[in-house]
Amino acid sequence: MKFGIITHAVHKIKEKQIYSYEPYVREMNLWAKYVDEIVIVAPISNNNIENIEKAYNHSNLRIFEISNFNITSIKNIIKTLLVIPKICFSILKIMKDVDHIHIRCPGNIGLLGCFIQVLFPSKPKTVKYAGNWDPNSRQPLSYRIQKWILSNTFLTRNCKVLVYGHWKNQSQNIIPFFTASYKKNEIEVVRKKTFSSRIIFMFVGAFSKGKQPFLSVKVVENLYLKGVNVHLKMFGEGEEFLKIKEYISNNSLEKIITLYGNQPKNEVKHAYKTSHFLLFISQSEGWPKVVAEAMFWRCLPISSNVSCVNSMLDYNNRGSVLKADITVNEVTSEVINYLENENKYQEKVLNAFKWSQSYTLDKFETEIKNLLRN
């Protein structure tokens, strides 16, 4: 089977190997096990390989470079109008050539892929919609267009659209799905974490306004000022990183907040295993893998009610589900409630631990194999 991937994920080439964002490549390597040839249509960068990037594992792999684009300024809009015809031609050519079309959404390249796949109604297709599928959520117009095309069984035929969460009144090609990070053989006994010593918090994700890393900083600072023995470990990089680094320095918070930047999977895994709470009050998510990962290692998530988080956390039975626009004091109070009732904390940690370990890479791979065969 010749498998074609249409994606906005930026790729890099080094020593004849193709790299991209590690969680994405980890998933695509599972798809790769069941296909003979892979053709990727994606943007390519000449930057250095980062810790959070991983190489594809397939012996017959080709990539066709396309331009990345956005419409955030007049200059970018003009550039976009010039490059879109060439991008569309590349996508069209690959879709015609492959046996199975796989589109990654939402994104600008995914949007073009959604339009062009209409021309191939009889060709098998899968779409991984890695964003928030909640029909009631406020989203950019381009995201809403992608969701509308994918839900329309007249325009999108012979296609399985994989979405996060179970939503009412969906078309028959919309399939609830999940993402996994660990194999079954990685399951291990994790020591019980008590409140008898320092309380360790984690933030894992992009340092962007949407992920609200600064909120996690302020919550831990607030707890510290109230006399709680705390430490926050922050993993990730982005536009807010330098701002947070400066805030930590200006307020002498180096002893309670550590910035690690992007780190390999095993480094983050070790931090989960030694942390009590994940603070992740994001304003937009698909399947928040960091929430599932934290649960896997007895690190209790305090997260926001976006996408399928409420379902993942079983409506507060496997963690705390808070509103995305919550205040620092409200999150602080939620943490203090746990610190004053450790039994409640331990009960939720155990519930989360048991649930998350049923979503392994082994199960994920079985589901992918079924999608390609059926």
pLDDT digits (tens, 9 = 90+) for 226-272: 999 999 999 999 999 999 999 999 999 999 999 999 998 899 999 99
Question: Which residue type occupies 12?
Answer: K
Tokens 């990070």 sit on residue:
181
pLDDT at 36: 97
Count of other CB atoms within 10 angstroms of residue 370: 10
| Measured distance CA(30)–CA(54) in Å, rounded | 13
Q: Which two tokens stand for residue 119?
A: 């021309």
Using alpha carbons, list the distances in angstroms from residue 241 to 48, 49, 315. 19, 19, 31
Query: Which pLDDT score is estimated for 308?
Result: 86
pLDDT of 283 reads 84
Say if strands 320-322 and 100-105 run parallel, antiparallel, or are unpaired.
unpaired
* Closest alpha carbon to 9 in 86, 126, 109, 147: 109
Query: In 57-215, which ranges are E strands?
Result: 61-65, 100-105, 125-129, 159-164, 174-177, 199-204
Do the domains 2-180+361-373 and 184-356 sit in the same CATH topology, yes or no? yes
Domain extents for the chain?
2-180+361-373, 184-356
Closest to 268 in 3D by CA, of 292, 247, 285? 292
**What DSSP line would sit under 181-222, residue for residue?**
-S-GGG----PPP-SSSPEEEEEES--SGGG-HHHHHHHHHH
Could you give the CA distance from residue 42 to residue 296 in angstroms, rounded to a whole number? 32
pTM of the model: 0.85
Q: What is the pLDDT of residue 300?
A: 98
Letter for the amino acid at 219? V
Q: Out of 3.30.70.100, 2.30.40.10, 3.40.50.2300, 3.40.50.2000, which CATH number does the structure's domain 184-356 have?
A: 3.40.50.2000
- Strand 257-261, strand 277-280: pairing: unpaired
Q: How many CB atoms lie within 10 A of CB 99?
A: 13
Strand-pair category, 11-14 with 300-304: unpaired
pLDDT of residue 124: 97
Its CATH architecture, for the domain 2-180+361-373, is 3-Layer(aba) Sandwich (3.40)
CA dihedral (29, 124, 152, 367) in degrees, to 10, reads -40
Positions in the chain short of pLDDT 70: 71-72, 285-286
* Rounded-to-10 torsion of CA 90, 62, 155, 138: -90
